[in-house]
Structure 1
Amino acid sequence: MKVKFWQLALGAVVAFYGFEFLRLNVFGPSDETLIKRAIHTAEQASHDGEPGGVLEILSKNFKVNDVNPGSKPQIMNFIRNSHPDIHVGDGQLTVSDEEARYVAPVSLKIDFMGFNIDRTVPDINLIFEKETEHAFIFLPVKSWKLREVILPKELGVESFLPGGS
């Protein structure tokens, strides 16, 4: 029995997707590594004024203190125009199956439309959730997305957010 070219090609594609599925979902980096890598990527992108690296880690349901911080275009414009310098310090990471909480000090340097913020805020809660993305068109891959940022109420940022009081 002769093996045809298309059978070999199909076998190679199936083997490739199987290998990638295992590499990305079973043998991939730990949850802690994925979360810290996402934070670092977003910090750098924010500093460089590149919104893509920030939007990439935000969940569809992203909120700041239970307030929607604005639409994606508004967030993109803010990052492009202000180049916020945000640094998440070392903190405590707690990971469960579908949610992770990272409590850490965050240094903020933001100069936008007359508002200057240059301070370190202790104990900001970053809440991540696992979401499914697709690699190579249809290969499901779990990734961590930032669902909510909980800031201390005394910071008063809600008044600057759309929908805030």
Structure 2
Amino acid sequence: MKKALIGIVVLLAIVLGVKGVMTLRGPSDQQLIKEALQEAIKASREGRAGSVMDFISQKLKVNEIKIMGRDAADFIRQAKPEIVVKSINPVVNDAEGTAIVQSTVNLKVSYLGFNIDRDVEGVTLKFARESAREWLIFPVKQWRLTDVSLPPDAIPANLGFGMGSN
């Protein structure tokens, strides 16, 4: 009985050790940001707000306007926006734990009587590295979207969230 218990403990220690090493040698920050952004875009297209909200920081702002999580989730569920970021090349600032992606974004959305299907140039997506844990033990890097900057004429004024031009 003791040998079986010792064997289980040793096996568990090996599994946790291997997982810990794999977590510490994980993918690059650029790769993590690309994967998270692609997953969030796919989830928004499908209207899965919860999956998108996992990627969005509680501090999200769009053109300096704070977006409440519930408002963003409702918008994603109802509008199911199709977003294509043309160039996902994050520039990471390790010292500050931030990253920026600047790109043209194709936006297709139908919401509150507005139909938008256009390329929006000059979009800036800002990310912050936030602490997270895998298996409740191992610290992992998690990047979340904290700020989106769009040109003022990119969104109709009455689309919602107080954004857009008049």
Which category describes the TM-score, using the shorter chain as reference length? 0.7 to 0.9
Deviating runs (4+, > 6 A) in structure 1? none
**Ranges in structure 1 where 5+ consecutive residues have no aligned partner:** none
SS in 2 for 1:49: coil
Q: Count residues in correspondence.
A: 162
Q: 1:56–1:65: structure 2 CA closer, same or farther, 3 Å change rule?
A: same
User: How big is the shift at 1:149?
Assistant: 0.7
Q: Give a deviation string over 1:81-136, Cα, whole Å, max 9, x none.
A: 11111111115421121111010111111111112221111121111111111111
Percent of matched pairs sharing the same residue: 32
Aligned to 1:83: 80
Are 2:91 and 1:94 aligned?
A: yes
Normalised TM-score (structure 2): 0.85
Q: 1:157–1:61: structure 2 CA closer, same or farther, 3 Å change rule?
A: farther
Aligned to 1:67: 65
Normalised TM-score (structure 1): 0.85
Indicate conservation of the 8 Å contact 1:69/1:162, yes or no.
no
Q: 1:130–1:157: structure 2 CA closer, same or farther, 3 Å change rule?
A: farther
Letter in 2 for 1:161: F
SS in 1 for 2:141: strand
**Ranges in structure 2 where 5+ consecutive residues have no aligned partner:** none
Aligned to 1:108: 107
Letter in 1 for 2:10: G
Aligned to 2:5: 6
Indicate conservation of the 8 Å contact 1:32/1:93, yes or no.
yes
Q: 1:164–1:83: structure 2 CA closer, same or farther, 3 Å change rule?
A: closer
SS in 2 for 1:121: strand
Q: Structure 2 matches for 1:3-42, cutoff 5 A?
A: 4-26=3-25, 28-42=26-40
Are 2:56 and 1:58 aligned?
A: yes
